Each structure stands twice: as structure tokens, then as C-alpha cells.
Chains A and B, each alone.
Chain A
Amino acid sequence: MSDWGGPPPRRRWRTGPYWLALQIVLSASLLLLLLLPIVALFTYAPFSRIVAAAENVYVREAIGVTLYASGIAVLATALLAIPLGYLLARRRFFGRSVVESVVALPVAVPHLMVGLGLFLLVLPGSPLYRFTNAIGFPVNDTVWGVVLVMAVVSAPYTVLASQLSFEAVDARVLETARSLGAGPATVFITVTLPVALRGIVAGLLLTWARAVSEVGGILILAYTIYPGGPYNGPVTNTVSVYIYDLFQAGDLADAAAVSSLFLLIAFVLFLAVRIGERSGWLPWRRGDLTP
């Protein structure tokens, strides 16, 4: 705005100082609330303990299986939840509100209930039990059970985020693309999806975060993970259940150490994504007004 001319504005604050102070105080309070438990974890577990945890083969297996299962859960969610979000954003159909409410349900109820529901569905001897075993995806106490629970409890975030993102895409932009010669499918791939991608990715990140943090449902459906189907790893637990076990056994120091280790991993992953977005390496925030 150099062509405004005149002397530089005399007021130092573009927003009033009280208003700014209020924003800072409130934001800082929340940040503190988020940070303090983490600080507690790191101070309780000496650094040597964290290193020892990182070298412990059981911890590695637990973290490995958690990342593995959550990765599959996120991919499966992307495959199924994005189309549902698109449908909800673009089509008006009878029962749409019901569908939207059903989508929100797994988020709104204790996850033990979700796990219990899934457990009842695949009770040994039930048709679904026989079916999942027959196609090589047994879910009781397997990694597929973990994936199933994770996907069910975390997919709603991606459905909701992609619905909102698709709704926000300007219909006139899409019409212009059609007019320029793109068929409906091409418009979706080249315009709709790229424009909505930022919001969808935010949803997928939430989905992933929710998936790795899942405990309740997993406790019921796949407390212990045995090799089965395509998973040939050792007998293990997800890291959440692993920490829960340590806590139950009264081993606070190890519980804190493993928690700290996993926190570091999650933090680095999130940070990498954010930096990737800001720097333009990851494509979905390109063209935003705010860099």
C-alpha cells in the first residue's frame, strides 16, 4: 500500500491494545492447558528412559503396528469418506439429515460403545465373523480389527471436512472449467479436488490423529494383536493400549517415557506437514491468499 501517500500512520497498534491483550491472554491460556500435560510427561520421564523406550523392541513393535494400522485406516477413510463428503455437499436427497447425523455418531459416543458394537457384530460364529475370516480379513484380535475401529471412529472427521470443503468450491469455477472443455470427471480431478484438497487434508490429518489416539474400541475388539491375514509381525498391542497396560501395572515412569516418545513422533509428523504446506512443497495450500 505504498501509494497511499502521506506520513506513516501515527498509531502503533492496528488493533486496540486491550483487544490485543484479550486475544493474547485467552490464546495463551489454552496453549498452556495443551502444553502442561506434555511438560508433565517429559519431566516425569528422564531423557535416558525415553531413549531406552526408543530402543525397546516391544515399544518399537507397538509404535510400528500403530502407525501401520492408522496409515491403512487413513487410506481406507480417504477412499470411502471423501466420496460421501462429496455426495453430501453436492446432492440433495431424502434422508440427507439422517445420513449426516449417522456420520457424526461415532464421534459423539464413548468409543467403548463403538468397540462393543463392532465386537457384537463379529462375535465368533456370526455371519460377519465367518465372512471376514473367509476373505482373509479376520478382525478379532488382529491388526484388521484395529484398522476397523480406527476407521469407524475417525472417518467422520474426513467426511465432515470434505463436505465443507466441497461446498465451499465456487460452482461458477466448476462451470467455467466445463465450458473450457472439461467433462464432469475431469473437472472433479483437475479443479474440484485440488481446490477442496486443503480442507480434505486437514480432515485426514484429524482422522489420523484420532486413529492413533484410539484406545476404547481397540481395548474391546483387538486388545492383543496376533498375526493374521497379511500381518505377520509379532504379537503386540497398539501403543495406546501398551501405555494403558504400563499404567495399569503401575509403571508410571515407563508409561510416561513411551508417551513422550510417541508425542515426539506425532509432533514431528505434524510439523513436517505444516512446513511442507507453508513452503509449497505440499500442493494443497498453493494459491491461498495468506501464505
Chain B
Amino acid sequence: MSEWVVDGVETDLDAFHLGPVDLSLRPGQAVAVLGSSGAGKTTLLRTLAGFLPCREGRVLRDGVDISDWMPEERSLGYVPQGLGLFPQRTVFGNVRYPMELRGRPDANERTEELLARFRLTSLKRRYPARLSSGEQQRVALARALAAEPKLIVWDEPWQALDVEARHELGTVLTDLRATEGVPVIVVTHDPDLAFSLADSFIVLDHGRVRLAGDARALLDRPSDPFVARFAGYENVFDRATLEAGRERPFTAWLLASAGPDGVAFGTPEAVPTIGVPSTWEGLVRSARPNPEGVRVELTVDDLMVVLRLPRPWPAKLPMAGDRLRFNVDERTVHRLGSAAGGAR
């Protein structure tokens, strides 16, 4: 049970500047760090883990400033991208490693316990190169826990996992937070994971915090194209595209609501041909069923708009070249890149 506070942390890596970042984690809480490539997510994790110095600000663990501590003193379960398994050690040897360092007399028994808990017992003599990615993830997590971390910091845990393995790892992480109260910070590109796991989010963009808050903040006020797409907005248009088609009616209408980085709006439903008034019309490019209904790609002006036909399935799927009509709920239209959505 530990409480972590990241207080105005800034760091420099060559020409890249990160921060200031503020975060606080209560026991068992999970934070998802989002952002496109090069936004500074890994830099933030490596700073917390002690591999990059804090230029400004402090990292507090249970009220103690650990900003100057060595990585090995921070009691932090850092799982990098690629997992960092030791290739020359077996599964058993990997999980035992942190306990060897601490000279625990019960290292073997503890290792067996952890292996059993992560269903790795039958694989314990294997080397990491011979494991599937799901198995490797479990080894990485078991090894991190063997060090009895006070915070788990995980870079892209879901990478290269199939649906089953994702689900399983999600369950393990949730258990872990509930039973041991270990807070978790994950960097992820996966909305499913983020929304199922995280209590709060921070969004990084070019080293700055664009948004911090819980899922509602992210969903209601997407701050930039990346966040909008992450939050499930399928209709995201950048400003340059809109400017180019400004004399067309739909484009012009969108442009009026656009911020510096463009505009996003929630997926509208197609309007039936008769009976309901509609504002816009487009040409169907494709229509494919998915778990939420039928996803329709529509050309409106020169823009590609995504619509949905809700389930139950319509008697006949729209065909390419059909015309469909729709309305855009103005409450779902968000200007992107404006100060409104950002934390600063």
C-alpha cells in the first residue's frame, strides 16, 4: 500500500523536454498515460523509474522525496516495452532474480508460488525466447511482483497480445490492485485496456500534458485528434482538410466549429429515408457489420464520414453508391487543439 505523488516533474532528454507533469496515485489506483509516438510517454516512465534525472519537481513515495534515489532503491516494478526478460535465464530464473538479489532464504518457494499464480509452473524450465508473447507478459509481471514493488510502471502491456491474453492480463492487473493495493501506471495505445483499467488519464503531446482527468473528461472533451480517436471518435478532421473544401456546405459547417487542430464529432446514426428530417446526405463507400451495428463509410463533400446503423441488422445492407442521410448532434462536435479541453 503506497501513495505516489508526481509533483511538477520536468526532464530533458537530448533536445526533448518533458513536463511539467503532475500525478497522484492512491493505493490500488491506475493511471493510463496516452499520447502519440514521441509524446514523451516512455520518457515519463523512465524518469519515474529513475533512469532520467528530474530537472524540476519531485517524485514522492508515501510523502518521501525519492527524486534523487537510484533506480534500484525505488521499489518500482518497471516493465519496459519488450518486457526486458533475461534471455539467458529460464522462466524460473527470471522470476527468482529479484529475490536472489535480496538474498531471501525462501526464494525458491516464493518463486514457485508466483509461477503457480501466473500459471507458469509447466513452463518454468523454458527460456524466454521459447514463450508466446502472452506467456512472456505473465513472466514479466510475475518477476516484477517478486520484487514486491510499491508501484507498477508498465510500458505498452497489451502490445502483441491476442484477445484472450488481453482479457486474462486485464483480470490479473485488476486482481493485483484489489488484493495488494499496488498502484499502476500504464502507457497504452489501447482504448479497451485504458477504459477498463484506468481510474484516470493523462494525455501527453510533445512532452506537455494536454489533458488530465478521468474517462469522462477524455470522452467529453477530446483535446486533440489523437485523444479524439482514442476516445472512439471516428469522425476526426484536421483543419487543413476542412480549409481546402471550405466552399462546400458540410465542410464549411464543420469548419465553423473547428479549432486549430480540427474537429471531431461522434458517430451519427443514419436517418431513415422517410419521416425524419435530415440535414446532410452522402454516398455510401462501404458498409460492414461490427459489434455495434453496421459501420458505414460515407463520402460527404470530399470528406469520409463514418455512420452507424444500429442493431438489429437492417433487412438489407447499404451498397456502395447508395445515398444515406444523417444529422450531426451538435453536442457531440468538439473543437480540437483549443485550450478548452486541455489542462493548461
Contacts and interface: CB of A to CB of B under 8 A. Distances in A.
Interface in A251-291: 283-284, 286-289
Contacts of B70: 178, 183
Interface string B42-80: 000010011100000000000000000011101011111
A191 B88 CA distance: 8
Interface of B: 46, 49-51, 70-72, 74, 76-90, 97-98, 100-102, 127-130, 143-144, 146-147
A173 B51 contact: no
Contacts of A176: 78-80, 83-84
Contacts of B147: 179-181
Given A173-B86, A176-B83, 17 more contacts: A172-B80, A172-B82, A173-B84, A175-B49, A176-B78, A176-B84, A178-B71, A179-B72, A179-B77, A183-B72, A190-B97, A190-B100, A194-B86, A195-B87, A287-B90, A287-B128, A288-B127
Contact of B82 (A170, A183, A287): A170
Contacts of A180: 72, 77, 97-98, 101, 143-144, 146-147
A180 B139 CA distance: 14
B97 A175 contact: no
A182 interface: yes
Interface string A213-247: 00000000000000000000000000000000000
13 contacts: A175-B71, A175-B84, A176-B80, A176-B84, A177-B84, A177-B97, A179-B49, A179-B72, A180-B98, A182-B101, A286-B127, A287-B128, A289-B130
A27 interface: no
A173 B74 CA distance: 17
Nearest to A191: B86
Contacts of A178: 50-51, 70-72
Contacts of B71: 175, 178-179
Contacts of A179: 49-50, 71-72, 74, 76-78, 147
B98 A283 contact: no
Interface in A178-204: 178-183, 186, 190-191, 194-195, 197
Q: Identify the 5 closest CB pairs spanning chains A and B, nearest first.
A: A176-B84, A179-B78, A287-B127, A172-B80, A178-B71
A170 B102 CA distance: 24
Given A178-B51, A181-B72, A286-B127, A173 B102 contact: no
Nearest to B143: A180
A170 B129 CA distance: 14
